[in-house]
Amino acid sequence: MPALGTVARALSTCWLLLCALAGSHQLSITEFAVPSTVEAGNNAELQCLHSDAERVDYVKWWWTPMYAASEDKNRVLLYQRLTGHTPEIPKKNVEGRENDTIVLMDLHSYDSGVYECEVSNVAEVRRHQELIVYSNGTGVELNVSKVEDGPDEDDLEEVLVQCEVHEATPLPDLSIFVDDVKFDNVTVDVEEDSNGVYNVFLNLTLSSDVVADGSNIRCELSYPNHNVSHQYTSEIVYNSGTALSTTETPEDTTQSELASELKNKNGVSNRSRWILYAVPVVFAILNNLL
């Protein structure tokens, strides 16, 4: 019986040793990098480095499209390198680099999806990340014009604000701000294309007492998908004398875009900061009077 015990002990020691050996050679992906958002037209570098290079059988990159029709949502092989062979890259807009890094060239809306790296020997390890291509398409186009009084209480002329974007990706949101106040009573129409690009049309009718000459009217494109934090804006300074369109004043647009970016960065516009200072002053005056 003691002999059996010794054998068992020897076996378990052996097993531990094997584990330790296997552990030291464990296959893993040591560095994995896929950008989560990329603006259309740019390239993206995807990195997948792994341990234990000499015992790897193959490395593959896969892509699962986000927008393909449901029947062909299958993974697409982008890259494969079998040990001892040169890499094969079956997809046209993909270039191979050293160490299984790939570069996706000139990204379009339809390149959005999940990118996965697979490294295999007897074991297999995988890492994946969603990459979203974003774009303002043909740009945010804003028009403001005066229209006849509509079916409301007053007899005032009205101001029609129209904002649209064509071929934007992913699904965008348009919002209208007049002097930094957002108007929610807008009418929105969305057209969807199978490639993941969207046309969005927005309409808002305002009574002319809401919009004074010199008012700043801004159309803002953002994305409901919070992983895409980029925003685009187009803005116009209202002048009741003329019809206005951002397409007609491109220089002004870029300038005011910069201004609004600055304002957004600071969080508060100068106008609201003025109120922040004014309120305590008013209270101080009232205090002295009472």
Ligand X SMILES: *[C@@H]1O[C@H](CO)[C@@H](O)[C@H](O)[C@H]1NC(C)=O
Binding residues for ligand X, per CB under 6 A? 36, 98-99, 129-130, 136, 139-141, 143, 162, 164, 183, 185, 187, 189, 201, 203, 205-207, 210, 225-227, 232, 234, 245, 247, 259, 262-263, 269-270
What is the nearest approach in angstroms of ligand X to the Cβ of residue 83?
Answer: 15
How many CB atoms are located within 10 Å of the residue 222 CB?
Answer: 16
What is the nearest approach in angstroms of ligand X to the Cβ of residue 202?
Answer: 7
What is the nearest approach in angstroms of ligand X to the Cβ of residue 7?
Answer: 43
* Closest to ligand X by CB, 5 or 184: 184
What is the nearest approach in angstroms of ligand X to the Cβ of residue 285?
Answer: 24
Enter the tokens of residue 203. 């309409």
* Closest to ligand X by CB, 68 or 210: 210
> In which residue are the tokens 């191979």 written?
96
- Contact between 128 and 115 under an 8 Å Cβ cutoff? The reply is yes
- Contact between 54 and 67 under an 8 Å Cβ cutoff? The reply is no
* Closest to ligand X by CB, 17 or 31: 31
Strand order across the 124-134 sheet? 37-39, 124-134, 113-120, 58-65, 76-82
Residues 59 and 83: their CA atoms lie apart, in Å, by 8
* Closest to ligand X by CB, 215 or 234: 234
For residue 40, which phi and psi values (nearest 5 degrees)?
-50, 145
* Closest to ligand X by CB, 129 or 249: 129
Q: Alpha helices of the chain — where are they, by DSSP H? A: 2-24, 250-266, 270-289
What is the nearest approach in angstroms of ligand X to the Cβ of residue 98?
Answer: 4
